[in-house]
């Protein structure tokens, strides 16, 4: 087996809302952590371990005399198939999935991935290279074995591979002719109660049925159905069911641009990102994520003193401290370090999160489909967040772009504080509490008037990124979607025109043009392009929006996924992967731009 740096982000994702694994086009496991998504990765070759004596952090089925490969998801599932062809007419199909289905009246989503290698034609010969890492690529995992299993430990967790493939061939990386299916169950250090082949077959069937039933319940638009379904499944895979957290991405330290140093750990729950994911899945009728995210949120709020502010980001279990540090044992994606774990953004003040959390909860008070709807005690908890919004709406913060070197009063943060008060007023009406409705309505009006005065730049005929400022940022594009101003209002149309002049390059949008702590941004931010597309549609420029939306779909990977950023010259994807923000954009764009089922049929 040759050590090769990952060439691109053509990666598939399997998972079950407990763990997730990224798989490259050759069927190699290149990133995956156990027992949780944010744990020390057993598979880490995506970020290039610095100096192993041999392959490290990878699980590969190497086909002898390899010729080509093809890859696809099983329709409407999170099950990935990779077919490898050799030069002699032989082929094997690799089925990869993380079990997820209902069992004993609850969700079964073990700390486990399953791999089945099936002969398709000829007499294919493979070598199985299974070399888990430990200590973020610092060393090989500790290995011990029995007659039908191999144990791998990294010092904090031990996994067991149970298989019907020859154990000695796996331990010695020797060739095996695939004459029958070979089952690999990689999970907890526990004995399987049945044969690997039977466990693989039954869990495959149950997992396939689960995902197809989940997809069947989605309310999807008529156009771009495949793109929306894949985006929805991917968002589901970026949740952590134990706590209800929504992760920003499944990776750490994929640079936002080549050699930029903009390498961050996104394996945590940003409350803002959680809101956008909840909103997108709600539009498809998948409201369970909202319910679970609110559980996560209210558990965090319960730990706060009344005067203690919310952090913008928490660990996936709700842990507040995310101490940032560099990992010297991983060279980084394509050798472009540094690799970081933890994220110091948890120390920042980002005032938009009060609006984001309240907006995430609002539908629960109105949606009659929900068995557990918002109640008065939930409203009381949200009011405590609204009180913070009133205090900070005109105060400097780091903003949604998480500037590390400066704070100003960001317009987006202020508008989200307005949205917090506006939605609390609506919820109070729903709960038949006119006194609180009047209070929150007055506060919303006061904040809105201040924003209109301070964030409008008469010289530019545009809203600007900060109170009294001159610069722009792409978050101004979503003011109409938040209900702050009409998309046909002259002030918004002026803002749209200014953003097109300053932030648009070709069919893509930068989040801002000014230099930050790392210099001038080098890549477009994918969610900003989707915001622009939605703004065009809302402003009546629908055909332009459809054209740009189709272009963004063309920039997805072969499996339909997107990362955070995009090189405007080459179209190459950069940034952490898969990025929930970007997958949200696929859904919201399709919901806004698709013709209706009635129009189509």
Interval 174-195: pLDDT, tens: 999 999 999 999 999 999 989 9
Q: How far apart are CA 330 and CA 44, in angstroms?
A: 8
3 occurs within a structural domain: no
pLDDT, position 405? 83
Do 519 and 396 fall within a single domain? Answer: yes
pLDDT band at 6 (very low <50, low <70, confident <90, very high): confident
Q: Mark out the alpha helices in 503-541 (DSSP H runs).
A: 526-538
Please tell me the predicted confidence (pLDDT) of residue 4: 64
Same domain as 407, residue 277: yes
> What residue numbers bound the domain in which 542 lies?
217-600
- Of 169, 200, 215, which one is at a domain's C-terminal end? 215
pLDDT at 458: 97
pLDDT in tens, 409-458: 999 999 999 999 999 999 999 999 999 999 999 999 999 999 999 999 99
Same domain, yes or no: 451 and 332: yes
Structural domain includes residue 526: yes
Q: Determine what percent of the chain is predicted with pLDDT higher than 70.
A: 99
pLDDT tens readout for residues 499-552: 999 999 999 999 999 988 888 999 999 999 999 999 999 999 999 999 999 999
Which CATH number fits the domain that encloses residue 392? 1.50.10.10
Q: Is 292 helix (H, G, I), strand (E, B) or coil?
A: helix
Q: Distances in Å between the alpha carbon of 3 and those of 55, 181, 449?
A: 6, 27, 60
Cα–Cα nearest to 547, from 533, 561, 563: 533
* Assigned token pair, 17: 């809302």
From CA 393, how far away is CA 195, in angstroms rounded? 60
- Closest by Cα among 476, 479, 481 to 588: 481
Do 115 and 251 have their domain in common? no
Q: Return phi, psi of residue 122, to 5°.
A: 65, -150
62 alpha-carbon distance from chain centroid: 30
Query: What pLDDT does residue 2 have?
Result: 52
Whole-number CA gyration radius for the chain: 25
Are 182 and 116 contacting, i.e. CB atoms less than 8 angstroms apart? yes
Q: What are the distances in angstroms from CA 34 to CA 134, 157, 162, 270? A: 11, 7, 16, 21
For residue 516, the model assigns a pLDDT of 87
Q: What share of the chain is helix, strand, coil (3-state, %, to 5)?
A: 35, 20, 45
Residues 183 and 261 in one domain: no
Residue written as token pair 């930068």:
510
**274 has a pLDDT exceeding 80:** yes
Note the pLDDT of residue 200.
Answer: 96
Span 277-296, mean pLDDT?
A: 95
Joined tokens for residue 575: 């940034």
Q: Are 295 and 408 within one domain?
A: yes
Looking only at the bridges linking them, the beta strands covering 175-177 and 158-163 are unpaired
The DSSP bridge pattern shows strands 20-23 and 239-240 to be unpaired
Last residue of a domain, one of 198, 215, 232: 215
Other Cβ atoms less than 10 A from the Cβ of 238: the count is: 27
Please check whether residue 347 lies inside any domain of the structure.
yes
pLDDT of 3 reads 55
> Does 415 lie in the same domain as 294?
yes
Q: Which two tokens stand for residue 376?
A: 């008065």
This prediction's pTM: 0.97
Asked if residue 306 and residue 425 are part of one domain, the reply reads yes
Judge if 77 and 205 occupy the same domain: yes
Within-domain flag for 391: yes
57 near 139, Cβ under 8 Å?
no
Question: Could you tell me if 257 and 522 are in contact, meaning their C-beta atoms sit under 8 angstroms apart?
Answer: yes
Rounded-to-integer distance, Cα 576 and Cα 407, Å: 25
Q: Is 2 contained in some domain?
A: no
Query: Which pLDDT score is estimated for 555?
Result: 97
Candidate from 360-369, 389-398, 439-448, 569-578 with smallest mean pLDDT: 360-369
Looking at every residue in the chain, the average pLDDT score rounds to: 96
Distances (CA, A) of 10 to 109, 464, 534: 26, 37, 27
* CA–CA dist 516, 518 (Å, integer): 5
Which helix (H) or strand (E) is 139 found in, with range? strand 139-140
SS3 217: coil
Give the span between the Cα atoms of 269 and 131, in whole angstroms.
30
Q: Of 154, 184, 215, at which residue does a domain stop?
A: 215
- Structural domain total, the chain: 2
Give per-residue pLDDT as tens, 367-380.
998 888 889 999 99
Kind and range of the H or E run holding 235: helix 225-237
Residue 53 has pLDDT above 80, yes or no: no
- The answer to whether residue 116 is domain-embedded is yes
> Model confidence over 196-253: pLDDT tens digits?
999 999 999 999 999 999 999 999 999 999 999 999 999 999 999 999 999 999 999 9
DSSP secondary structure letters along 297-360: HHHHHHTS-TTPPPPSEE-TTS------EEETTB--GGG---EEES-GGGGS--TTHHHHHHHH
Contact, 162 vs 112, CB < 8 A?
A: no
Find all residues with CB under 8 Å of 213, minimum gap 6, and list them: none
Sign of CA dihedral 18, 289, 14, 24: negative
Q: What SS3 class is residue 153?
A: strand
Separation between Cα atoms, residue 430 and residue 424, nearest integer Å? 10
Tell me, what's the pLDDT at 598? 94
Per-residue pLDDT, averaged over 562-567, amounts to: 98
Domain match, 63 and 97 both: yes
What are 261's two structure tokens? 């140093």
206 and 349 together in one domain: no
* Residue 409 token pair: 């009063």
Q: Does residue 6 sit within a domain?
A: no
Same domain, 173 and 264: no
**Residue range 542-561, pLDDT digits in tens:** 999 999 999 999 999 999 99
Residue 7 in any domain: the answer is no
One DSSP character per residue, 67-128 reads EEEEEEE-TTSS-EEEEEEETTS-EEEEEEE---EEETTEEE--S-EEEEEEEEES--EEEE
């Amino acid at each position: 087996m040759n050590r090769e740096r990952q060439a691109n982000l053509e990666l598939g994702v399997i998972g079950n809302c407990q763990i997730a694994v990224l798989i490259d086009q050759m069927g190699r496991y290149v990133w995956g952590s156990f027992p949780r998504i944010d744990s020390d990765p057993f598979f880490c070759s995506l970020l290039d371990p610095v100096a192993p004596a041999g392959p490290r952090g990878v699980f590969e089925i190497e086909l002898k005399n390899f010729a080509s490969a093809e890859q696809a998801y099983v329709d409407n599932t999170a099950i990935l198939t990779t077919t490898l062809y050799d030069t002699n007419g032989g082929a094997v199909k690799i089925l990869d999935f993380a079990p997820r289905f209902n069992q004993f009246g609850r969700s079964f989503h073990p700390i486990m991935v399953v791999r089945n290698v099936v002969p398709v034609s000829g007499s294919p010969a493979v070598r199985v290279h299974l070399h888990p890492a430990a200590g973020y690529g610092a060393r090989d995992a500790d290995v011990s074995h029995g007659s039908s299993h191999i144990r791998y430990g990294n010092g904090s967790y031990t996994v067991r591979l149970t298989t019907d493939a020859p154990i000695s061939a796996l331990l010695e990386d020797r060739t095996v002719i695939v004459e029958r299916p070979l089952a690999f169950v990689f999970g907890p250090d526990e004995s399987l109660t049945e044969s690997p082949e039977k466990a693989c077959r039954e869990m495959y069937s149950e997992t396939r049925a689960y995902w197809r039933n989940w997809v069947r319940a989605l309310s999807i638009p008529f156009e771009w159905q495949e793109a929306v379904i894949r985006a929805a499944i991917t968002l589901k895979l970026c949740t952590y069911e134990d706590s209800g957290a929504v992760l920003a991405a499944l990776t750490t330290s994929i640079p936002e641009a080549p050699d930029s140093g903009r390498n961050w750990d996104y394996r945590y729950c940003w409350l803002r990102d959680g809101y956008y994911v909840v909103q997108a899945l709600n539009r498809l009728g998948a409201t369970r994520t909202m319910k679970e995210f609110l559980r996560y949120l209210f558990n965090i709020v319960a730990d706060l003193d009344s005067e203690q502010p919310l952090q913008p980001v928490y660990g996936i279990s709700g842990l507040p401290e995310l101490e940032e540090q560099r990992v010297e044992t991983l060279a980084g994606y394509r050798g472009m370090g540094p690799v970081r774990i933890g994220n110091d953004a948890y120390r920042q003040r980002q005032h938009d999160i009060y609006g984001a959390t309240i907006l995430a909860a609002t539908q629960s008070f109105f949606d009659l489909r929900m068995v557990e709807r918002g109640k008065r005690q939930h409203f009381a908890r949200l009011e405590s967040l609204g009180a913070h919004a009133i205090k900070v709406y005109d105060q400097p913060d780091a903003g949604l772009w998480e500037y590390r070197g400066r704070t100003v009063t960001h317009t987006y943060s202020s508008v989200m504080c307005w949205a917090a008060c506006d939605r609390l007023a609506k919820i109070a009406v729903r709960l038949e509490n006119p006194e609180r409705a009047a209070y929150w309505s007055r506060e919303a009006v006061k904040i809105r008037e201040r924003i209109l005065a301070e964030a409008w730049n008469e010289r530019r005929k545009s809203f600007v990124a900060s109170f009294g400022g001159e610069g722009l940022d792409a978050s101004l594009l979503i003011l109409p979607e938040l209900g702050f101003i009409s998309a046909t209002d002259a002030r918004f149309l002026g803002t749209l025109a200014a953003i097109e002049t300053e932030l648009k390059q070709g069919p893509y949008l930068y989040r801002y043009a000014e230099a930050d702590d790392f210099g001038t941004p080098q890549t477009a931010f994918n969610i900003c392009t989707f915001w622009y597309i939605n703004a065009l549609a809302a402003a009546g420029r629908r055909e332009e929006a459809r054209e740009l939306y189709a272009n963004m779909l063309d920039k997805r990977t072969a499996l339909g996924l997107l990362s955070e950023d995009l090189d405007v010259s080459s179209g190459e994807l950069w940034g952490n992967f898969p990025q929930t923000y970007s997958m949200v954009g696929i859904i919201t764009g399709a919901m806004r731009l698709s013709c209706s089922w009635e129009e189509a049929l």
